[in-house]
Structure 1
Amino acid sequence: LEGLPEGLPEGLPEGLPEGLPEGLPEGLPKGLPEGLPKGLLVDVVFGTVDNDERDAVEAIISALVNDRLIAVTDSTISLAH
Structure 2
Amino acid sequence: MLSPEKLARINELAKKKKTVGLTLEEAKEQTSLRKEYLETFRSNMKKTIENVTVIDPEGNDITPDKVKRLRSNKFPN
What TM-score comes out, normalization by structure 1 length?
0.27
What TM-score comes out, normalization by structure 2 length?
0.28
Higher gyration radius (CA): 1
Richer in strand (by share): 1
Richer in helix (by share): 2
